[in-house]
């Protein structure tokens, strides 16, 4: 989703976007030691976007900036949904988190995920969730369905070596598979070791209830839950139920 210099043109041409990025930079500065504006312009030592604790805050800021820009054009959301860490920006746009809280969640979450880097992997696979789970027999605790993105599109997540075995076997069977370019395994048992530290780091995040319909990809349903620390721990560990949330959005009469 990210590329070098992905915010440069908008920063130069759109004052509303630039102002929103400045606000994000101030909120993130309490938690990071790099410049958001430099990263988005493709400048500085972090410009290559190779580290998860730079990538995820940068994507978050782009999402917040784009939402501010669209609102300045009169485009107001009637409902929101976010995928995995994208829920942080969705929660801010919906009024369930302040900008300071959202910045803390995305920065501290990604810094902890970096601790788990180097051991995991994730892959997109063209199977239904049920088919994927049946193919993972014998890999319990090592590889899981980490996200359900469509009726026949899932992400597998877990131990690198085990996932390589699954990937190879499915490829031989003619199943479409593609590696996600990460070296960690979100939404898998790899995240369980981060739970206590994440809850402790996010304890100050009180959160609130969304002021817009908020469709959770943790639950797959519309939720009025207060989006505090416990929600964000589940957001990292549990599978992303994006397809369930999209179906519920559609059933409730929303469209894009």
Sign, CA dihedral 180-236-206-54, equals negative
pLDDT digits (tens, 9 = 90+) for 12-69: 999 999 999 999 999 999 999 999 999 999 998 887 888 999 999 999 999 999 999 9
Buried b (16+ CB within 10 A) or exposed e, 190-213: bbeebeeebeebbeebebbebeeb
Percent residues over pLDDT 70 in the chain: 100
Domain ranges of the chain: 8-116+192-246, 120-183
- Going through the chain in order, the beta strands assigned E by DSSP cover 80-81, 120-125, 143-150, 153-159, 177-179, 214-215
The residue that leads in pLDDT, 75 or 2, is 75
Q: How crowded is the C-beta side of 235, counted as CA atoms within 13 Å?
A: 29
Q: Identical fold at 8-116+192-246 and 120-183? A: no
215 contacts 222 by C-beta, under 8 angstroms: yes
In which band, very low, low, confident or very high, does the pLDDT at 256 lie, cut at 50, 70 and 90? confident
Rg (CA), the chain: 18
Q: pLDDT at position 4, please?
A: 87
- Helix axis angle for 52-72 and 15-28, nearest 10°, is 140
State the average pLDDT over residues 99-107. 98
CATH homologous superfamily, domain 120-183: Malonyl-CoA ACP transacylase, ACP-binding (3.30.70.250)
Instruction: Read off the pTM.
Output: 0.94
Q: pLDDT at position 49, please?
A: 85
24 contacts 67 by C-beta, under 8 angstroms: no
Q: Which CATH architecture has domain 8-116+192-246?
A: 3-Layer(aba) Sandwich (3.40)
Bridge partner list, 125: 154, 177
230 contacts 136 by C-beta, under 8 angstroms: no
Report the first-to-last Cα separation within the chain, whole angstroms: 19
Q: pLDDT at position 185, please?
A: 98
Q: pLDDT at position 124, please?
A: 99
Give the pairing type, strands 153-159 and 143-150.
antiparallel
Q: pLDDT at position 255, please?
A: 87
């Amino acid at each position: 989703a990210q590329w070098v210099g992905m915010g440069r043109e908008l920063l130069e041409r759109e004052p509303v976007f630039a102002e929103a990025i400045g606000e994000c930079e101030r909120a993130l500065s309490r938690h990071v030691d790099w410049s958001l504006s430099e990263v988005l312009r493709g400048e500085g030592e972090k410009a290559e976007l190779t580290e998860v604790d730079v990538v995820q805050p940068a994507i978050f800021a782009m999402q917040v900036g784009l939402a501010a820009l669209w609102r300045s054009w009169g485009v107001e959301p009637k409902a929101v949904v976010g995928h995995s860490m994208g829920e942080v920006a969705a929660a801010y746009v919906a009024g369930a988190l302040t900008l300071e809280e959202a910045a803390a969640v995305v920065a501290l979450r990604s810094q902890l995920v970096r601790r788990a880097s180097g051991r995991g992997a994730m892959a997109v696979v063209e199977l239904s969730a049920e088919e994927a789970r049946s193919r993972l027999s014998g890999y319990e605790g090592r590889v899981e369905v980490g996200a359900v993105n469509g009726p026949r599109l899932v992400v597998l997540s877990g131990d690198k070596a085990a996932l390589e075995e699954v990937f190879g076997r499915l490829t031989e069977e003619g199943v479409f598979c593609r590696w996600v370019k990460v070296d960690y395994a979100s939404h898998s048992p790899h995240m369980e070791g981060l739970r206590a530290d994440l809850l402790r780091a996010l304890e100050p995040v009180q959160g609130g209830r969304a002021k817009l319909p908020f469709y959770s990809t943790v639950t797959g349903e519309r939720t009025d839950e207060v989006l505090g620390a416990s929600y964000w721990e589940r957001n990292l560990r549990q599978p992303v139920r994006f397809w369930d949330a999209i179906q519920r959005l559609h059933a409730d009469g929303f469209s894009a």
